[in-house]
Structure 1
Amino acid sequence: MRESSSNLSKQNSQQPKDIRGGEKKVMKKSLSTILSLAMAFSMFSSVAFGEEAKKSSADFSDLKDLDAATKAKFDEMISAGVFDGVKEGTFGLKDKMNRAQFAKVAALIFKLQVDSSLKTSSFTDVKADDPANGYALPYIEAVKKAGITDGYAPGEFNPAGEVTKEQLATFLIRGLNKDAEGKATPGVSDKTVSDWAKGYVALALQLKLLSSGTDGTFGGTSAATRDLLVLGSYEAKQQYKGPAFNGKYAIASLKATDANVLTLQLNGALSEEAAKALKIEVKRDGNAVTSGYTTKWSDDKTTATLTFESKFQDNKFDVTISGVDNIDSAAKTASVTTTPEKITKIDFLTASDTIPLTRDKNDKLIQKVRIDFKATNQYGVKTNLNASNFDIRVNGGTFSNIAGEQAINLTEEEGTERNDRISISIMHQDSGVQVNKIFTVGDESLVSKVEVGDLLNAAGVKIDAIEANSTNNYLDVKAYDQYGFRVEDKNVLNDDVSVNFSDNDLEEGPGTGDRPNDPFVDDVVGDTAADMQIRSTNNEEKEITITVYARGGNSASKTVKVKASKIPATVEFGSYNYTLAEGDQLTGDEDVDKKFYIPLIAKDSKGELLDADDIVTAYADGGKDSKFDIRSTSGLTLGKNGNKNAEIATTGAYKGYLVVSSVDRKGTQSITVSLEDHREVSTTLNISVSDPREADSIKFSATPKKYIVGGTDTEVKYKIYDQNGTEMKYSTDSENDYKVRLTYTGTATSTAGTGEDVYLASKEKSDANNRKVKLSTVSGNTYSADFPLLTAAAVKDTTLDPWDNFFDKSFKFYSTANSPTGTWTLKATLIKVPKKGSNAGKEIELDTLSTTIERIDPNKSENKLTYEAYLDKGVNNTILAADDYYDVNNKGAAQGVTGSTYLYNNYKKLTKEVKLRAKKVNGEEVAVPSGFYNATTGKANSIISVTSNNPLVANIPTSAGNFVAGLEAGTAKISVLFRNAKGDQESKTIDVTTKNEGPAVASIALRKTDKTVDRATINGNTNLYLWSKELAEKITVKDQFGDEVVSEFTPGAPNEELNAADQFLIKANGVTGSQNTNDVLNLNFYISDVTGGDASGVSINNQTGQITFNSTTITGFTVNVIAPSGVTAAFGVTVSN
């Protein structure tokens, strides 16, 4: 009941007091007032009708001096009903136990089947009507059946007889199903133990069921006392695994163990498979219950706890197990009857009958007094009812309920003085249980004891550590006065409690307000008590001891961790699978330099991963504030350009990586990284360094097709590999030069054609009409050309172009439209030319690689070709629905063109080129042309027309008849009409899907990721872009449709074939064919990591990537590009003078 529910005054402060402590004063209250309160409740029993409260050690006077650990064991056994006292208020701790008592205990702890209906025993001396031991008859029969004992003598049990210690040991061992093990255990060497029992006693001691006496002997034949029975049976109960499982699962017991909890126990532990399959079906009053409860199994898979959302009423529950084959059908269902929750006992939890005076000499209220109580239900469990569910009455003050708890805050009335009396009565009307207590008023509170608990956040949630530079941290400090009452008032606590920190990085209090350093603040975590607030003032990882002092002299300490944000607490090397060789050095070429950057994985103490910026910040340029200690063996030089303060890259694509600038000696080398703040944390990477790199083999990087028809080409590329099988783009071999000789031979087998023989030429041109290198043949002659492998030093030669190196250089076999048939062979020979020694200048052949190209006659039956039309660089024939996404139809209409034409003219790379490919009957691919048909020349083997059956979805630009543009989302069938190699017309179709998905950038690749440039080259350069030749050289952006958008070199600069290099990312003034695809991609460019000068000296247009540099001091910066999809790329620039 709530306070207002009774007509009796519960907060009547006008009645006279009964006693004035030690002084003769006029009585303001009469004793009759307090007595009347007691009488008002006298009609109710202190224990609910028909219900008995579960007991604990507190109910027995001879158990009050037990230590806490032993008391907890007694409490568990007493509350479980295994033990009771020998009489009211007395447990009989040192009384000798008899055999009847043991039988009951053994039956309960070993969960034996007890037939309570038995009235006749198999022993002649066990009688149901025996006033002393008759209660034990069913228990005696249960222990006999279980084999724990077979009696004292033939036909006799001797229920009143004593149990010796060695008998107790034996009984417990048998109860644990270890009889055979007890017999087999080597016996103790103890004269106090009978020979027959020595093995049992030895095993009992090993299992710590019992212990020897202080003199080292067991005292086996001496009588066991009740305290030994409690402790021994407690230990046995903890170790008991249940009866030997007979192979069939059965319900051993079903009990209501709380007002909303059923506990189901099986006869054996579930196997892993059975635990997954077993089902529990619940019925309440015959109706299936499928929701409103949860099931939790014990760790040993023997006991299921069913917790219901609502409390029980007068119900019958039937529980059935199923789902596995091996279930005992006779014991698969159990029933239990429940009753509504009843309170059986209410206890005050106050430590003293004296409460502190809470008013000062001016009668001003200092604090309130917290009064806790405990209401126990019929299951011996504390009910979850809170104070508002009880009828609480106070004489001598007022009170307020503490929300959600069985506690009140007592406010002493005005005029309260020392030795006054205050009466509190608590009643639960529905159960008819009440408790009364009269407290004497003592002195004002003096905090005499403090307890330090967990760290909490502002939500009251436990935290493991304090985050550096944080303020909302609270230490759970419980303070108690000289009477044992909890002190919760902020002002009293700040007066009586002080705090000290072992390090100044922690401070107490909120840090703001009128009293910023008062440790206690108004309740934050939600427990009504003032909270101790702690602030961290520095971003450093450490442990700090907090000591809290009570004014009464007591103190308590706690060591807490301060977790620094983004400060490395662990470090390890990331995946690194490259092979290094003596003589390796940074070149500035991304493909080559990948192996010189080693990833670091660092986490802070919260387990959060540090990103590249965090690692660079922690590195602090390798200075005295660096959190990393980086060391390497002498065979490796760390740091860009050997700078020991640049061991970690602070700019560019490899920002946050360890940098190896050169490899100086072969053999096993290592790098070790330790943490300055955690010297115990260290990680080492061992790197096997091989001999200096020497060219060893040559392989195709682009394999040409073996067959070709007239009027087309097929590409071939090569790569060089060293002795370790690693790509060797540049030579670092100081003792040898390397070159590749291409030799081209062949014979035309037909003279019918008037065109030139199939020839090999570089893609690179020397002028507008000529390839720089061309190898052709006349019958029987051999043509060749040599190509040097450039050295690493050549990378820094700004006059060289990417295609000047033979490595991955593009060559093609070309056939004219009327070329004769024939077969030609291309042979690549890798050659070493020593610089020193007897072989200096001599050519040494290292490896060869050959391929043939056959110009076929498509009119011959053996050269029948099967064609396929496809979308170049397509992904599952899916393209962008550009009109849905970018409204190209309306934009095109404004320019007088179709939407597809507008898309091609402005964003060509978002359309797809239709191409052809062909195969011979044996599946070999044949190089065929895919260009658009030229009606003037009548060129065969090319596309005549491309049409769409659904032009609203996909259509063909009028300016490019062999391209497809997506418009609205949907599907379309694209028909391709073309002339095959024989000149006959054929048609093929392509099923196309268009999607209204904005282009999502899947990758951004730069040709270079790092460069050192002369200041004069970029200072004031008005035509400088990220992809300029002076910087990254090329940027390639790919989306989810396979579209590739490329910008290469400074706008207007020539490419390999002396045409204007691609500029499809941004439209450059005066550059024909350039397009502003970034309108759709929305890449964003920005500058970071500026070093050596004012950051304003370098800037970039965030939409076009154009860079402005005007500085005489800046020594480095990073150019970054990021897509809306989150994909990024970075280019590091080092500026040299």
Structure 2
Amino acid sequence: MRNTSETIKENSHVMNAQGGEKKVMKKILSVALSTAMAFSMFASVAFGDTATTPQQQFDALKAKGIFNGYPDGTAGLNKEMTRAEFAKVITKLLGLKEITGVYSYTDKNYNAKNWAAPFIEAVTAAGIMEGKNTEKKIFDFNGKVTIEEMATILTRALDLEVPTETNNTASAWAKGYVQAAINAGLVDSSLNFQSNASRELLVGAAYAVDQEQSLKVASYDVTEAGKVVTFKMSDGESVKVTLDKALEANKETEVKFTYKDKEFTEKVTYVTTVAQAVSSVSATNLKEITVKFDGTVDPATAESTNNYVVSGITFKSATLSDDKTTVTLLVDANSSALTNQRATSLQINNVKNADGTKTFTQKVEFTPLDVAVPEVKEVKALGTKAFKVVFSEPVQQSTVNATSFRVDNNVIAASVKYVYPNTAIVTTDLTAGEHTLRVSDVKDFSGLTIVPVESKFTATEDTAAPQVVSVKSNDLKEVTVEFDETVKSVASAYANVSGNSAQSIEINDNKVTLKFNNPLNYTENTIHLASVSDYSNNSASVDAKVTPTLDTVRPTVVSTDFYVENGNYYAKFQFSKSLKLESATDASNYVLKNSEGKVPSIAGIDGDGHPVVKPVYTDNNKTVVVNLGSSLSSDATYTLTVSGVVDNAYVGNVLLPYTATLNANTAQNGKVSRVWADVSSAKPNYIFVQFNKTLATTGEGNALEAAKYIVKDNAGRSFQIAKENNDINLISTNTVRIAVTGTIPAGFDWTGKVEVTASYIKDSEGKYFNNGSFTVGDALSGSTIGVTGDVYATSRKEIKIKFDAALSNVNLSDFSVSGVASQPTSYTLADNNKTLLLKFADNAIPVNVAGVTVSTVSTYTQDAYGNKIKAIDTPIPVKDGVAPTFVSGQFTKVGNDYTATITLSEEVVGSTKVNPSFITDLFTLNIGSDEVDIKTVTINGTNKIVVTATASAAQADNGNAIVSLKFNGSTNSSAKAVTDKNDNALGTITFAAQNSTITAPVAP
């Protein structure tokens, strides 16, 4: 994990925590030696804030067992140290393992009784120290340690590079080691390297090493949703580490960072009770869904039913558990129940966790499983005139009646009120004291029946009227008042003034929901409830205060679907919230465009791109279905933009524009699109079958199985085209080549029309193609590629021709275009190579294309399978697809009256389908920064548009001002308010002139 780190206190040694493993011992010894220089002949390096006297350092090391001192209690700092002492200090300091029972040297008295032997063996095994005489294996444990020996030992421990060139006064054997120490800045080159090192020097170095080894992480704190870890160090400073990837909640993770040139790898855990994921979705009955999070969630978003979607289901409520980790979704009483043991999807939208650092928007699959019979969960007396029975799950109202209940084993005379989903309030007289209730014949929504079991409850006199516990608002027109007991009735209610009465009062156990036609105030409101009664007939009127919580969450598109049904294309949008019906079904809120960003000229879509059939909205699953008609091109891609859709909040929240990409081929029902054959003899060697979608080549829908292809002649004689599966080859993702190897019936007629049938074949998405047939042309002479639809001039240098198959090789000389200044010079292919765009020299195509036609002089152009284009013997007229363009503009003025005359490339007309003021609003006239009201816009069927406006005297007299006119071509492109005679919309126009240069019109 790459991360960045910084100290909270100033520290220049913190580095980015990245890179490989390093030898910590090297760093420790480097710091140790550098620090030791402060005490003697080594280069001077300050300790910093932790500096102490040599004696204090000695005392600290002695307490840790690294130094012992002399019998008289002194440190002996001025004395010289022995090699044995040095070996012990290095062993203790670096945590080397003491080695006993091994004696590598031949010194006198070097045996088990020698206190230094375990330490000498330890540094020897580590390769840090060696004997004074290696041949005789003499260590010389009582010998003194020289500075050059100390430099050598540190060079080895640090694994410094020993140079070949030296410039120092050390002994010959030590010159390389000492030079390495000098080059590393550890030793001053002017020292007498043969002199002995003092104990004070060793204490200083040892203390620095010990301090570095003692540096560790004391504690850590994780913030910013696991993105930042702050480590508190043992020296009192803090290191802040910012991670590239946030820690996974409640999971131990290693974090690496560098502090004071030391690498740390610490295991940290981002401990949080705030939700980071959806733990599970389940349904143990058919009217409730339980959504469990792995931590706490935000009550406001978690309890919004708009944030949960199950197709075909409407939710009555979303209730968050007391620990704020589990949401129970209650299906509306009038909505269909879930289907037992059938996989179902729950879409969760915009639910936030408790600290707002994460938003859950995801689809979760679950399978409702109701195998438990309902049980009595609670029986509670409501005074002595009624009791309440709460079941363990939602139950069917039709099974809850007076005969379902026996009190003290007696049939009771009672009225029963069913409170959806799982409560029955039974009104009957009870004596004070304990009673036994037996319940039978009650069923849940999967048809399971309760097992009769007796329950005990106690009735006591109730003399207190219901009291308000809490008040909540839902937008500005709904208030829920919770009482301390079950409510039987409320006579009436109003908000603030009696004139704003509640239009509906819904009682659900101890909760009363009030709905108002007129909105509440944005600030605090007083809700008055008259004669709130309980089941002991205690009654009181109450006032409750509430400040509404406005719904400010915009609706969003949860999912889109695009499909073909009964020949029409449909786009289906599912939204995150319930919508206002009038906005959801307003066709002007939906705009279809083709891949070029233009409104396609097709049936089912008007000139502005809006569907001509009114969209259909279904509130229970929050979906809108848009009928786009039957004329979409099967191989084209479109966009459908939704905007202006508003939710049901009192202050409606508007959907941000959402654009869906619609691939018509994907939406289409699978079918055979082409069949052709090569004819090399009396019968074809191969028959080619092309589908409109990618084929499945495995499983039961495998397109490479011979038994699925049958050929039949006019007389009804038929046979399986290929004998074996090996006779079928996939030559493209949607095309098969079938070798004709089957047994041909006698007299089979290849000269007439032949029908080829492909059956039980799936596309790559696992859907079956229509099990239809396709009739091949006469004599199977090979399939030619024909022009489909109209041919258009899209500009004065381009003509568009669409074919019914994809081209792979285009011969430009095949095409002849009459009525143009020159023939095409190049081409491009579009729409999956089905559209040929012939390119011409600039302005080669006339403005008036009435006399322009396309024909062929040869047919070498072909598809990837060698099928050639069909000859165009009868020239095809080219239609006008060229939009009028701006040629020039001129301003004139008389006094304060301005006239702008626009000259266009061709004649234009104003649409009668729009209000004239709409056309006027497409023009904007400015003098300087001031906009001037336009008086008239004249479009008279010529190639000119005349715009007039009257300015103020000050504006007209401002000679330095720039006068500009702009035409909004973007809006006009959708509205087609100003077009040429072939309905091609005029584009954006902008032209300007300096006010002082504008003169009166010249008389003709």
TM-score, L = length of structure 1: 0.22
Q: Which one has more relative contact order, counting CA pairs under 8 Å at least 6 apart?
A: 1
TM-score, L = length of structure 2: 0.25
